[in-house]
Structure 1
Amino acid sequence: SDTVFDVDAEPAPEEIEDAYARHANFRVIRRPSESLAYHLDGARLGEGTASVIVGSMPLDRMLGKAREHKVSLTELVAAMLIDEIQRIQQADWRHRRRPIRVSIPVNMRRHYPSATVRNFSLFANPGIEPAFGTYTFKETIDQVHHFMRFNMTAKNLNALMCANVRPEQSALLRITPLPLKTLAMRFAYYRSGESRYTTVLSNLGEVSMPEEMGRHIDRLDFMLGPSHQNPIVCAMLGSNGRLLGTFTSTIRDTALQRGFFRQIVNWGIPVEIESNGDPSTLP
């Protein structure tokens, strides 16, 4: 199968190329300006500890719900997360008016052909502006859907890609000592990275394996690592007719997870829940 690499074979040059550098055309350099986003918070779990809650549901039923709303599954799930976070924010006196954004990795291989096995993705941050008022679920879905369709085009993505590649070509940065570059990168990421979105949603889509491997696999799991600023993140994966939604968290409160899975159950879609945490906190 061309989806499985031979560990004894020599890597092809295209497998290790820097696809960003190859495809950035530098016609336009654009980095969107975003304000500070709302962040979830709560009592933290112990050092080095994370809560994992996995919900398994029929993939076809969730795809049907997405088609009902005329959006992709990723857009539907992003809207669900935003909608539930909006409810949490309205009970939070600290930052009720800050925007709620979900950061979604975009696979650049869909827009620019590349066989690289190195990272080749950018991020979209759709969301809502609670300062404008309370959004209905339909309004939230529309916000996410139109943001993704308007911004995630090859031309817009190339402008963003150029903004990321340009610093690598700076002669000054190349001669700057590594410790200073590391500090600068951390500061820049803190100021313009995680502070600009509320949570992360990554959807790998439906994953299939070659028959020779598939018969030995009962299930595939996919999870993301939370951070200090964004303590709850969500990963989605379709496999063997099931959709698995995995929340990884470093805080004790599970209101987001409970609300998310209860919404699916309210649609009449059965969800099986697993967790490594306290059963009393499960959805």
Structure 2
Amino acid sequence: MPKRAHWRKLDNAAKLYSATSNKKDTRVFRFYCILKEDIDPRKLQEALDKTLLVYPVFLSVMRKGLFWHYLENSTLHPEVVKEHREPCSTLYIRDKRTLLFEVTYFKNRINLEVFHALTDGTGATEFLRELIKNYLCLSHKSEGLSDISLTDPDITIQDQENDSFSKYYTKMQKPKEKKPKAVQIKNLQRETGLLNIDERILSVKYVLARSRELGVSMTVFLTAVYMMAIHQEMSHRQEKDPVVLMIPVNLRKFFPSNSMLNFFNWIEPGYHFDKGRDTFEDVLIYVKEYFNTELTLEQVSRHMSELVALEMHPVLRLAPLELKNLCIRAGAYYAEKYVTAIFSNMSAVHMPEAYSPYIERFGVFTNTPKMELCVCSFEDKLSLGFTSRYETTNIQRNFYRILEEQGIHAEKPEPEYPEPDVPRKLKVRIFHIYSFICLAAILAFIALNFMFHPKTHWSLFTAAGIGSMWLATWIGVSKRYNLMKNLMWQLILMSAGSFLWDLSTGWHGWSVDFILPAVCISVSLSLLIIAKIQGQSAREYMIYFVMSGLYGTILPLILLLAGVTKFQILSLVCIIVCSLILLSLLIFRWKELQEEMKKKFHV
């Protein structure tokens, strides 16, 4: 009997990332560690394998249900590779069964890139710490470096997979507050479209000393500097709107949790510079008071419960996934106008003293549609990573200039990134050329029709044929990662297209007599062949067999009973073949079918 697949629902934050990720906003972040030695890829692979024994929750793939995405454990084996792509490139590819994290290396740097639906900054930090520890132990075992445990032995896999949002959710009523629109950074996008990464190193000792002199925390101090840096690039007209920073908050500081899943919220301090209070001290006082007001257990609980309550709304829960995703994307796009930029403080990364001599520093940054500053520290090195897709770096310049005025010097490390490998551009260009040729052919046929046969409209049929060919090609390309899903789309396209073609040419019935049953039988048999060749488990192909079986049984049967079908033999064969497929699933794969339906239909 096949082993039961372990699966789990997405947490509250993951549902946002699964719906809104795209090529420009991949929702991927990078945590990295720079060692004082070049990386041995063989030892790094061994270290990764050991790390996954401690954190198996990372061996998850995203799958699609009718109402929500969900995560399912996989047997995929991640391979360490040399860095070859743009940082924070796409990890979650729709219709492709891939892991949601990647470990790469370049010279003396180890990179951990994670799709945010899998975990948050805290979870990624714990995984990277374990990975670095394992690598150093393997590399310096002969020098007597011991393996020191970084995890609590009492923490179970269930603890790691705990959805803390649901655990601590309580229904609270909070009056809706109308947010003012925030200042938007209007700089030109980079011509190449690549991520602009600006990293600097500060002294933790100097930043903490200056923060304490001012009577604030390091996060409050850097928030005020960030706001001032943005303000220096604003026009007087822009000052009518506040500068608003989105600042993630680790909820584990408020609620006990050992979860490796997302468990964070955020606050949004917004400062108006048009009130005649535009000095650094004015901003600092405001930010300090805002943090003191908002970072309380009561306020954090209210905001968290508000977000979870939205997810639990019965209308939203029962909406189909594609409709739900459209609503979430629209909401995310609408919410962007209330935020100017993002500031994420990942706090300090701690390693046992025995490992510190081998480590240079840790760093973090993320892909973002706006401008984002990510911060983390190791010992006395505070790593700052600005990311954006803007051409100019004036805000970053202002930020470090303000720090200089505060007596803090920023060191700029030399960038160490390989040239990105971008073969996809050629594929996109080829498809664009193909689309242009199809459009040109349609226009040419319409022109010929008008010139030589103006009284007939044969060019419309030609255009429809070319359009159908282009649509079939587009579906084939966009769904190329999942052949079974590709076949289901082609089934719907071919049957609907033939029906419309038959109807527009005077209805002869060939579409329902021959094309529909022939295509249904062909797709069902093709699914069997693909499942056999690819060696897929029942739970991977189950849903496509159910869809093709129902489609090939119910639709021809309705047409047959309604008297629409004239040539009945082929339709009867189709109904029998598709019915047998459904019956075989019910008889031989009943438990797997129940399990798969539960996953696909969970709300």
Give the TM-score range, shorter chain. 0.7 to 0.9
> What corresponds to 1:142 in structure 2?
285
The one-letter amino acid of 1:259's match is: N
Q: What is the alpha-carbon distance in structure 2 between the residues aligned to residue 46 and residue 134 of structure 1?
A: 37
Query: Match of 1:156, SS?
Result: helix
Give how far 1:25 is off.
1.6
Q: Secondary structure at the match of 1:185?
A: helix
Distance 1:32 1:18 in 2: 28
Q: Does 1:219 align with 2:361?
A: yes
- For residues 86-117 of structure 1, what are the alpha-carbon distances to aligned partners after superposition, in whole Å with 9 as ceiling and x for unaligned? 121136x4x33111011111110001111111
The answer to whether the 8 Å contact 2:229/2:402 transfers is: no
| Counterpart in the other structure of 2:401 | 262
Identity of aligned residues (%): 23
The structural deviation recorded for 1:43 is 1.9
Aligned-partner SS, 1:40: coil
Higher helix proportion (structure 1 or 2) = 2
**2:345 maps to what in 1?**
203
Aligned pair 1:128/2:280, yes or no? no
The residue number in structure 2 matching 1:27 is 172
2:410 alignment counterpart: 271
Q: Tell me if structure 1 keeps the 8 A contact 2:163–2:261.
A: yes
In structure 2, distance between residues paired with 1:61 and 1:247: 20
Give the aligned partner of residue 236 of structure 1. Answer: 375
Greater CA drift, 121-130 or 205-214: 205-214
Q: Does 1:8 align with 2:53?
A: yes
Once the two structures are superposed, residues 13-47 of structure 1 have per-residue CA deviations (whole angstroms, 9 ceiling, x without a partner) of 12111111111221334554312100112121134
Higher relative contact order (CA 8 A, sep 6+): 1
In structure 2, C-alpha distance between the alignment counterparts of 1:83 and 1:139, rounded to whole Å: 10
Q: Structure 2: which amino acid aligns with 1:72? A: S
- Could you tell me which residue of structure 2 aligns to residue 167 of structure 1? 310
SS at match of 1:132: coil
Question: Structure 1 residues 275 and 124, CA, compared in 2 at 3 Å: closer, same or farther?
Answer: farther
Which moved further from structure 2: 168-177 or 102-111?
Answer: 168-177
Selected match of 1:88 from 233, 238, 252: 233
Q: Who is 1:117 aligned against?
A: 260
Match of 1:38 in 2: 183
Instruction: Output the aligned Cα RMSD.
Output: 2.1
Contact 1:234 1:245 (8 Å CA) reproduced: yes
Q: Secondary structure at the match of 2:392?
A: coil
Structure 1's 32 and 55: CA in aligned 2 closer, same or farther, altered over 3 A? farther
Q: How does 1:51-62 map to 2 (within 5 A)?
A: 51-62=196-207
Distance 2:208 2:317 in 1: 47
Larger-gyration structure (1/2): 2
For 1:68, the equivalent position in structure 2 comes to 213
Q: Is the Cα contact below 8 Å between 1:54 and 1:246 reproduced in 2?
A: yes
Aligned partner letter, 2:349: V
- DSSP-derived class of the 2:232 partner: helix
Deviation at 1:6, TM superposition (A): 4.9
Distance 1:226 1:12, change over 3 A: same
Per-residue deviation, residues 182-220 of structure 1 (Å, max 9, x unmatched): 00001111222x221111111111211234654443221
| Kept after mapping to 2: 8 A contact 1:56/1:242 | yes
**Paired residue for 1:281?**
none
Q: Which stretch of structure 1 is more off in the superposition, 37-46 or 260-269?
A: 260-269
CA distance in structure 2 between the aligned counterparts of 1:17 and 1:67, rounded to whole angstroms: 37
Indicate if the aligned counterparts of 1:52 and 1:275 stay in contact, CA closer than 8 A.
Answer: no
Residues 1:273 and 1:30: Cα distance change in structure 2 (over 3 Å): farther
Rounded to whole Å, the distance in 1 between the matches of 2:162 and 2:172 is 22
Q: Which amino acid aligns with 1:65?
A: R
Q: Which residue is 2:492 aligned to?
A: none
Distance 1:154 1:47 in 2: 44
1:274–1:252 CA distance, 2 compared to 1 (3 A): farther
Letter in 1 for 2:408: I
Structure 2 counterpart of 1:253, one-letter code: T
| Secondary structure of residue in 1 paired with 2:181 | coil
User: Normalization by structure 2: what TM-score?
Assistant: 0.42
Number of equivalent positions: 267
In the TM superposition, residue 85 of structure 1 has moved relative to its aligned partner by 1.3
Task: Give the whole-Å Cα distance in 1 for the aligned partners of 2:403 and 2:286.
Answer: 20
Query: Which SS does the other structure have where 1:226 is aligned?
Result: coil
SS at match of 1:274: coil
Give the TM-score of the pair, scaled to structure 1. 0.87
Displacement of 1:77 after TM fit? Answer: 0.5
Q: Quote how far apart the aligned CAs of 1:128 are.
A: 0.7
Q: Any unmatched runs of 5+ in structure 2?
A: 1-49, 57-155, 417-603
Selected match of 1:246 from 385, 390, 394: 385
Equivalent position SS for 1:247: strand
Give, as a single letter, the amino acid of the residue that structure 2 aligns with 1:25: T
CA distance in 1, matches of 2:169, 2:414: 42
Task: State the one-letter code of the partner of 2:188.
Answer: A
CA contact (8 A) 2:172 2:306 kept: no
SS across alignment from 2:384: strand
